[in-house]
Structure 1
Amino acid sequence: MSKLPIDPDANTQTEPLSRAIGERYLTYALSTIMHRALPDARDGLKPVHRRILYAMRELRLAPNGAFRKSAKITGDVMGNYHPHGDAAIYDAMARLAQDFAMRYPLVDGQGNFGNIDGDNPAAARYTEARLALASEALMDGLAEDAVDFRPNYDGTLQEPIVLPSAFPNLLANGASGIAVGMATNIPPHNLHEVIDACLHLIKTPDARDDTLAALVKGPDFPTGGVIVENADTIAEAYRTGRGAFRVRARWMQEDLGRGLWQIVVTEIPYQVQKSKLIERLAELIQTKRVPILADVRDESAEDIRIVLEPKARTVDPEQLMAALFRVSDLEIRFSMNMNVLIDGRVPKVCGLKEVLRAFLDHRREVLVRRANYRLDRIAARLEVLEGYLVAYLNLDRVIAIIRHEDEPKAVMMAEFGLTEVQVEAILNMRLRALRKLEEIELRAERDALLEERGGLEAMLADERVQWARVSDQLKEVRNLFGKSKPAGQRRTLIAEAQEIAPVDLESMIEREPLTVILSKMGWIRSMKGHQPLDAENKFKDGDGPGLAMHAETTDKLMIFASNGRFYTLPANTLPGGRGMGEPLRLMIDLPNEAEVITMFPWRADGKYLVASKAGDGFIVGAGDILAQTKTGKQVLNGEALLCRPVSGDHVVVVGTNRKMLVFPVAELPEMARGKGVKLQKYGSGGGLVAGDSLSDAAFITLAEGLRWQESGGRTRTEPDLTEWLGKRSSAGRMAPRGFPRDNRFN
């Protein structure tokens, strides 16, 4: 059989590339938003978490039952409901079991499920898990048609679209996720307070946002801590669904006797890894960023205990903690963005009232569906009971029919007017049920079911009764997980931020003399005291002395490089002089091709001449050279040659051509950044040699003349500089006899 030719035109669809990409990306974005990253406002779960809990329920892992291997659970979730990576599924399940991540854990884990230090859980083959009590409350009613089900990914099984959720899990445990073009970050809350807000909203549907915010005082993190925000800020965040909360560690001052004390941190902010926090505090001590902090120790066991030792007993503990709050994760800002799926379909940033309303509407719908399901079950049972009672009233005849008739089913249906269901129930009845007492029990059961049916029908007919029943259910959950239980009490303290005077870390540094040494290869160190600058020091092999200067621990060290940038280093953070120091390029972002020209201590009233090899320069103030980052601050454009502090009334410049020029300081402009102006003329014209450049510059007082030091150490003076006086940017005249051959003044 010959193949039919394929017509490319008939099998090709033409459309603009932008439209094709846009449609496909939109499909991907919607899939990520609705089926992966954003939680449902009704049960507060993402699909992966919902599938994990449902799969564990199908495995009959009840809170009071046995544990099962996490690998088995992960495999069932992946094979039956969630066709994604097993690592992602296990990580999601492990988080549900972490009491430092979940305010009300939904999985009861056995084994290593990670810790607050940031260590990962053990492999799935080593850990075991079962459902927690809170998960049972989330799934109560699944077998009673409380929610809709849908086919799983391959159509072989059914999975719930949403869980019945007996409590507002979205707010109780929080959620976080990054979708396409949107994200969500919801902090955990105290379940008792959230249910109180739900009850108030049921009682007063048009409740004010401020009233609800007064009931839900703020987030309640599983790791505790202290929220330092005023009530108005918290209320505004809950009204709009967006905001941020400052969360601090909880600490106390521990008396050691004899006037000594230490600070003990007992709770750290949510989602802060303790090990990284300790590393950061140790780094602050090493770099002397907080000079009044002497040591940090981690004495944690089951509870957190981080010990902070002050530098001296005279240190104010409030000031020390204020300084640490500024520069470490002992204080964080937790951003809230309540972006959730409404009815599982529409992403929306909701305020507290909208989120609670979505949950309550869901609970009412679950109540109605379970009531209708129960009515259907009652109707089916009543039908069977009526058949049983007919059989008891005509017991002898029923027995005779069963014994003698070939088709007892049809005869009984015709003679007693019974339905097929009733006859089947009678025929399947056991002989032991034919005693007289059973008839009494059947009538009692029928009366009880009729009474229950009447109550359910009355509830379905009256919305107020429905809301009353929802309130009763919420109160039952509150009794299980509320403040009456140790785990239900509020852990995070809500407090007004006490305004402490701004902490000036520089003022905490003890003022001590230092000698700073920078080697030729760029290794920097500091030595205590003002050592002789020409003293011999040890250097690495192949290295030698470069620059040396006297400073104090309170100084800011300015470093000027050939790329025209100024870099700032606190003198107290320099490595000690016992070793060879550390590479300067690790402390500042100094390019490999750039060389250090000079270094000096910063003075607020200082002014400096910066000049390039091309002979351009200007005066810059101290405030314009101070750098705030490791990358430094660009001041001079071009290849820099020198930086000199401004003094005297005239400037002397000398070029590589040995031409010297003297002109007034007033002719130099003061700038913050740029190329500057020409200091001395070079070039090929006027008898000058091409390629000449600036060699050195100095400030003098004209009346005192010019002094320089000869190679033998003798000082020479040129008292009359009239011959070299001129205007800035002129060529100048040959330097005086005896001027150093290297064309430098020093």
Structure 2
Amino acid sequence: MAEAQTDSFIETPFDAALSERYLVYALSTITARSLPDVRDGLKPVHRRLLWAMRLLRLDPAGAYKKSARVVGDVIGKYHPHGDASVYDAMVRLAQDFALRYPLVDGQGNFGNIDGDNAAAYRYTEARLTAVAMQLMGGVDEGTVDFRATYNGEEEEPEVFPGLFPNLLANGSSGIAVGMATSIPPHNVSELIDAAIHLIDDPKAEHSALMDFVAGPDFPTGGVLVDSRESVAEAYATGRGSFRLRASITQEKEKGGGWYLLVSEIPYGVQKGKLIEQIAALIAEKKLPILSDVKDESAEEVRLILEPRSRTVDPDLLLESLYRLTDLEVRFPLNLNVLDSTRTPLVMSLRETLTAWLEFQFQVLVRKSQVRIGKIDDRLELLEGFLVAFLNLDRVIAIIRTEDEPKPILMEEFGLSDRQAEAILNMRLRSLRKLEEMEIGRERDALRLERDELSKLVESPARQRTRLKKDLASVKAKFGDNRRTRIEESAVAREIDWSAMIEKEPITVILSQRGWIRAMKGHVALEEIEQLKWREGDGPFIHFHAQTTDKLALFADNGRVYTLGGDKLPGGRGFGEPVRLQIDLDPDVEIVNLLVASPAMKLLVASSDGRGFIAAAESTLAETRKGKQLVNLRTGSRLALIRPLPAGADSVAVVGENRKLLVFPLSDLPELARGQGVMLQRYRDGGLSDAVAFRESDGLSWSLGGESGRTRTETDLSPWRAARGAAGRMPPVGFPRSNRFS
């Protein structure tokens, strides 16, 4: 028994087995799930949904049926996947804000532009739209191949042959393994005009097609603000993006007031989340010139954006909204599709239309050939019927007298087996004279139709003329006006947000345990000393600032964080932990907090004696996580950050070993980030303090005590040496704290 089990094992390297199986999965995802076919623009799940609905006779003029019935047929016969994914695909086909030309006519709650989900499939009903019927037109006429379903019990078409440019008209999106697709919807009238132009001139350039297809046409409207050159580049390469804005107008009120009216939002943006996004800007005071947002939408989108006052610049408010919200988005273009051989590739606009037209020519020829075959079959029978009518008495006599009339009829009148069988199956009522005349007329009409079809199959010129005529018919039936306007506009400019903040004086106070507050006005030191602190806490850093200032907080892990002066908590109580505003780990100590003015330079030094000069402006960070300023070596920390005094030309460094060193400030590099250079070399310990000063003023330090006196040493030649030296003992009276202040 054990030997039998062992014989069933196949030894193979694990990496080879994993690679082989993952490749199979990847190919399956690419070719049978995520990418649309260039010929009908559908993924397998969408094609199977429409096919199942067609077999259920859910025609546009017929009655609706429960969505659960459709989903059940799809997953039971054609698509062995989860019912939720199939129903989600069906819901999207019915949403007029998701598809430019919906393929499913839904009845019930199929979701809305607010972002609400559709009702469960047991509550909704559906049927096909006229566009879906057009897309499937001719599928029963031998125009495309059929394949067996996953269990071999049914058949399904490999692709739909209908004359409708669904890939570009409705677009598609999907993520496969190692590749993705993103195709925006377009206007079918423009696509058909471009296709007709390509029929007349197969070598037409993209610039010529741009005269017809100006850009995407989204079902939710909006404004396409990219330049013609940018759109043309995206269409020529099959990759790019389109900048789409909401449709916003300025509405004036009596008394001089005004508001912004949003009547169309960008494609793919959920209105509910957009309103939440704008409301968050107002609540967090990130856009102080905006006062309120109201949703007055009914059937149409109607959002009211109220400015803080009538004196607000409307253009400034619009630019701010475009930069901070989804009132402006970028829709990616990645024309990655499966071609007629089921090979994924990225096509240009011209290549996509050309591939679709080639398929339509094949459908036209194949449809004609199948029709010719049916006509030949019918003509064969009609010829036999006419022979019977011309020799009616003899045919009747043979049938009445012969036990096996078929071979005698075939031999005497030169009939084929099918003709003889048809004559024997003919009803008596068909023997009237009128029937003979109708058969003759039908034969003549079929011969004329066959002749025209034969000419069509043999003549590419006739095929082009016929396809152009059919395309014009589709345009007349489904064509409509463009919804997305095209208005070239520059990218929204950078906004000076500090200009929107009301400038007020504040006093910033940071406690030893990291609690921060901002008192109104410039408070005197005596008042700060009288403030109350949490138990075990006390004053650490305080300074005067303005609400428009940006504050830089430096931590001993080498990172710097940015705080807005207008975002600080008020001066009542103990304030708030600064760690609520930035992502600062609890075990990381705060080194300094200061106003990062544009012209300020900072002396940066780490505990291992390395340092450099940094521009305060370059330390500002955009996110809560801050930015790394100092690349610390293992075991070291950021020791100090100090502003450079005006006119400073020297640096004094003192180590924990009480060695003092003085060298020129010009020896330090200015960096945006780094380890810096060696300031002072230590055998034991590390850096204790450093300060920049003007040599002509001498080096000063505090004498300590309550007197507040300082001492200044003007002759520094004993301690002057090259940067990176060890230094020597400081003058008598230097503070035992080893700090200059």
TM-score of the two chains, using structure 2 as the length reference: 0.88
Q: Which range is displaced more, 56-65 or 610-619? A: 610-619
Which residue, out of 535, 550, 558, partners 1:556? 550
Closer/same/farther in 2, CA of residues 95 and 508 from structure 1, 3 Å limit: same
Matched, 1:151 2:148: yes
Deviation at 1:19, TM superposition (A): 5.0
Q: Which range is displaced more, 312-321 or 543-552? A: 543-552
Matched, 1:508 2:500: yes
Match of 1:644 in 2: 642
The correspondence of residues 450-599 of structure 1 with structure 2, limited to 5 A, is 450-482=447-479, 488-498=480-490, 502-532=494-524, 534-535=527-528, 547-575=541-569, 583-599=577-593
Q: Which range is displaced more, 303-312 or 23-32? A: 23-32
Match of 2:121 in 1: 124
Deviation at 1:396, TM superposition (A): 5.3
SS of 1:144's partner is coil
Match of 1:620 in 2: 614
Which residue, out of 362, 365, 372, partners 1:365? 362
Which residue, out of 320, 323, 336, partners 2:320? 323
Q: Which range is displaced more, 618-627 or 556-565? A: 618-627
Deviation at 1:734, TM superposition (A): 7.5
Closer/same/farther in 2, CA of residues 57 and 743 from structure 1, 3 Å limit: same
Matched, 1:631 2:626: yes
Match of 2:47 in 1: 50
Match of 2:708 in 1: 715
Give the aligned residue type for 1:568. Answer: T
Q: Which range is displaced more, 345-354 or 532-541? A: 532-541
SS of 2:291's partner is strand
Give the aligned residue type for 2:451. Answer: G
SS of 2:380's partner is helix
Give the aligned residue type for 1:220. Answer: D
CA distance in 1, matches of 2:345, 2:677: 59
Deviation at 1:123, TM superposition (A): 2.1
CA distance in 1, matches of 2:392, 2:276: 85
Matched, 1:189 2:183: no
Deviation at 1:252, TM superposition (A): 0.7
SS of 1:119's partner is coil
CA distance in 2, matches of 1:397, 1:334: 77
RMSD, aligned CA: 3.6
Q: Deviations over 1:637-662 (max 9, x none)?
A: 332333332337677777778x6958
CA distance in 1, matches of 2:233, 2:199: 22
Matched, 1:374 2:371: yes
Q: Deviations over 1:548-593 (max 9, x none)?
A: 4322122111111122322222323445557876543343332222
Which residue, out of 37, 48, 52, partners 1:40? 37
Tell me if the contact between 1:241 and 1:337 (Cα under 8 Å) persists in the aligned partners.
yes
Q: Deviations over 1:309-337 (max 9, x none)?
A: 22332222222222222232222222212
SS of 1:715's partner is coil
Deviation at 1:228, TM superposition (A): 1.6
Give the aligned residue type for 1:316. Answer: D
The correspondence of residues 672-691 of structure 1 with structure 2, limited to 5 A, is 672=671, 673=673
SS of 1:135's partner is helix
SS of 1:605's partner is coil
CA distance in 1, matches of 2:491, 2:15: 55
Give the aligned residue type for 2:262. Answer: V
Closer/same/farther in 2, CA of residues 55 and 666 from structure 1, 3 Å limit: closer
Matched, 1:67 2:59: no
Q: Percent identity?
A: 53
CA distance in 2, matches of 1:380, 1:52: 34
SS of 1:465's partner is helix
Which residue, out of 711, 718, 726, partners 2:719? 726
Closer/same/farther in 2, CA of residues 258 and 538 from structure 1, 3 Å limit: farther
Match of 2:277 in 1: 280
Tell me if the contact between 1:662 and 1:724 (Cα under 8 Å) persists in the aligned partners.
no
Closer/same/farther in 2, CA of residues 89 and 436 from structure 1, 3 Å limit: same
Closer/same/farther in 2, CA of residues 370 and 704 from structure 1, 3 Å limit: closer
Give the aligned residue type for 2:250. Answer: Q
Deviation at 1:134, TM superposition (A): 0.9
Match of 1:604 in 2: 598
Q: Deviations over 1:323-352 (max 9, x none)?
A: 222232222222212122221422222112
Give the aligned residue type for 1:716. Answer: R
Closer/same/farther in 2, CA of residues 199 and 37 from structure 1, 3 Å limit: same
Deviation at 1:491, TM superposition (A): 1.0
Closer/same/farther in 2, CA of residues 381 and 703 from structure 1, 3 Å limit: closer
Tell me if the contact between 1:568 and 1:626 (Cα under 8 Å) persists in the aligned partners.
yes
Closer/same/farther in 2, CA of residues 399 and 520 from structure 1, 3 Å limit: farther
Closer/same/farther in 2, CA of residues 363 and 576 from structure 1, 3 Å limit: farther
Matched, 1:694 2:692: no
SS of 1:635's partner is coil
Closer/same/farther in 2, CA of residues 101 and 723 from structure 1, 3 Å limit: closer
Closer/same/farther in 2, CA of residues 636 and 87 from structure 1, 3 Å limit: closer
Deviation at 1:219, TM superposition (A): 0.9
CA distance in 1, matches of 2:676, 2:417: 106
Which residue, out of 377, 380, 385, partners 1:383? 380
Closer/same/farther in 2, CA of residues 414 and 278 from structure 1, 3 Å limit: same
Q: Which range is displaced more, 467-476 or 586-595? A: 586-595
Closer/same/farther in 2, CA of residues 665 and 209 from structure 1, 3 Å limit: closer
- Aligned residue pairs total 728
Deviation at 1:83, TM superposition (A): 1.6
Deviation at 1:24, TM superposition (A): 3.9
Match of 2:161 in 1: 164
Q: Deviations over 1:45-97 (max 9, x none)?
A: 11221111111111111112122222221221112111222222222222111
Deviation at 1:177, TM superposition (A): 2.2
CA distance in 1, matches of 2:226, 2:416: 69
Match of 1:200 in 2: 197
Deviation at 1:43, TM superposition (A): 0.9
Tell me if the contact between 2:596 and 2:617 (Cα under 8 Å) persists in the aligned partners.
no
Give the aligned residue type for 2:62. Answer: G
Q: Deviations over 1:142-198 (max 9, x none)?
A: 111010111111222111111103111111111222223322222111110010011
TM-score of the two chains, using structure 1 as the length reference: 0.87
CA distance in 2, matches of 1:160, 1:575: 66
CA distance in 1, matches of 2:535, 2:102: 60
Match of 1:688 in 2: none
Deviation at 1:264, TM superposition (A): 1.6
SS of 2:135's partner is helix
Q: Which runs of 5+ in 2 are unaligned?
A: none
Which residue, out of 121, 134, 137, partners 1:137? 134
The correspondence of residues 419-438 of structure 1 with structure 2, limited to 5 A, is 419-438=416-435
Tell me if the contact between 2:659 and 2:727 (Cα under 8 Å) persists in the aligned partners.
no
Tell me if the contact between 2:389 and 2:436 (Cα under 8 Å) persists in the aligned partners.
yes
Tell me if the contact between 2:259 and 2:307 (Cα under 8 Å) persists in the aligned partners.
yes
SS of 1:130's partner is strand
Tell me if the contact between 2:190 and 2:213 (Cα under 8 Å) persists in the aligned partners.
yes
CA distance in 2, matches of 1:541, 1:440: 114
SS of 2:63's partner is coil
SS of 2:329's partner is strand
Q: Which runs of 5+ in 1 are unaligned?
A: 483-487, 685-690
Deviation at 1:364, TM superposition (A): 1.2
SS of 2:330's partner is strand
